[in-house]
Amino acid sequence: MRIWHSEAVGGPETLRLTDTVSPAPMADEVVVQVAACGINFPDSLIIRDLYQFKPERPFAPGGEIAGVVTQVGSAVTALAVGDRVIARTGWGGLAEEVAVAAHKCAPLPEGMSMAEGAAFLFTYLTSYHALVQRGRIAAGEHVLVLGAAGGTGIAAIEIAKALGATVVAACSSAEKANFARASGADAAIVYDRGPLDKDAARGLGQRFKEAGGARGFDIVYDPVGGDYAEPAFRALAWKGRYLVVGFTAGIPRLPFNLPLLKGAEIVGVFNGGLQTNEPAVAAQNVRDLVALFVAGRIRPRVSQVFSFADAPAAIAAIADRQALGKLVVQVGDVA
């Protein structure tokens, strides 16, 4: 089978397409013939050894897939050969076949394409865990979403709207702002790409405060960090929740007097940790999201599908923060 291997630390240009033997499943695993692989920001980090997980090389990036089960481990009872599934792999997805633990798989929902399936679990599970378990979102609340045109941002907009919130999207271009509005955001703010000097940060903070109204935002969803964190935090309401999702613009520094004065919470969001420590909650989140999809309340927004040969270009586009919604690599011809 063909696989995109990371054999040395570096960017997408260091990946090498090679042939290797097909995997065999462990007792608790299945082998999936990959139809499509979703590309996420961690794929650009893991090949540079900048992610919290550092697989032994060679390995393939690609943290989520959709495809068809071709082999089943001896201890697996919930899946069978021929089942159409979606799965979070962590890495390894940019390959024609991948072995994955059966409990990390879920049936491909009725009416969902393979490309949509490969763009579903990573961002929607992160955003659902962030807003529901960590943010305790309630109908009628006001939510500010940073990086709102990216995969997790769009998922956060859709989920927050489905749960009855008012959403303001913050993006780095007018094109992204329009995309966020088309995805359900009630309003959008365009901010400059950083770094921000003091005057720019102060001005952005004022725009966030105006968008939040007299009360401010109940929740800020932040997968961006960097110089945008403090202006967004200043727009929080009393007892607001600041959801730390990621750092595409760098790890921020925040004056700790701000959470004190606002009675606010800084809340870490790590869906991988939820799956490890609270697997029953994580499994219920998958069921809840599938129900929202079936009801037509959410739908993965795949803006571009890359060929398998162009997989490094998809990772480069994510790393450069060019993507709108989700990018997917078509790996195989499975319908």
pLDDT in tens, 176-231: 999 999 999 999 999 988 789 999 999 999 999 999 999 999 999 999 999 999 99
Domain final position from 272, 288, 314: 272
Q: Tell me whether residue 61 is in a domain.
A: yes
Same domain? For 88 and 129 the reply is: no
Asked whether the predicted pLDDT for residue 163 surpasses 90, the reply is: yes
Q: Residue 211 domain-assigned?
A: yes
User: Do 96 and 170 belong together in one domain?
Assistant: no
Task: Please check whether residue 152 lies inside any domain of the structure.
Answer: yes
Model confidence over 228-276: pLDDT tens digits? Answer: 999 999 999 999 999 999 998 899 999 999 999 999 999 999 999 999 9
199 in the same domain as 180: yes
User: What pLDDT score was predicted for residue 241?
Assistant: 98
Using DSSP, state whether 329 is helix, strand or coil: strand
Tell me, what's the pLDDT at 334? 60
Q: Range of 189's domain?
A: 123-272
Rg of the chain over Cα atoms, rounded to whole angstroms, equals 20
User: Which pLDDT does position 193 carry in this prediction?
Assistant: 85
pLDDT of residue 335: 54
- Provide the domain count of the chain: 2
Q: How many percent of the chain have pLDDT more than 70? A: 99
Can you give the CATH number for the domain in which 152 is found? 3.40.50.720
pTM: 0.93
182 and 261, same domain (yes or no)? yes
Domain assignment present for residue 294? The answer is: no
| Mean pLDDT computed over 293-322 | 94
Distances (CA, A) of 121 to 25, 55, 216, 289, 306: 22, 21, 31, 9, 19
- CA dist 42 and 240 (Å) reads 28
> Is the pLDDT score of 333 beyond 90?
no
Pairing mode, if any, of strands 302-307 and 326-330? parallel
Name the phi and psi angles at 281, rounded to 5: -65, -45
Q: Which residues pair with 85 in a beta bridge?
A: 67, 107
Q: Is the predicted pLDDT of residue 52 greater than 90, yes or no?
A: no
pLDDT digits (tens, 9 = 90+) for 62-111: 999 999 999 999 999 999 999 999 999 999 999 999 999 999 999 999 99
Cα end-to-end span (Å), the chain: 19
**Residue 322's pLDDT is what?**
77
The answer to whether position 289 is within a domain reads no
Q: Are 237 and 208 in contact (CB under 8 A)?
A: no
Residues with Cβ within 8 Å of 311's Cβ and at least 6 positions away in sequence, in order, are 4, 15, 37, 39, 62, 94, 329
CB of 185 closer than 8 Å to CB of 169: yes
- For residues 238-247, one letter each, b for 16 or more C-beta atoms within 10 angstroms of the residue's C-beta and e for the rest, the string is eebbbbbbbb
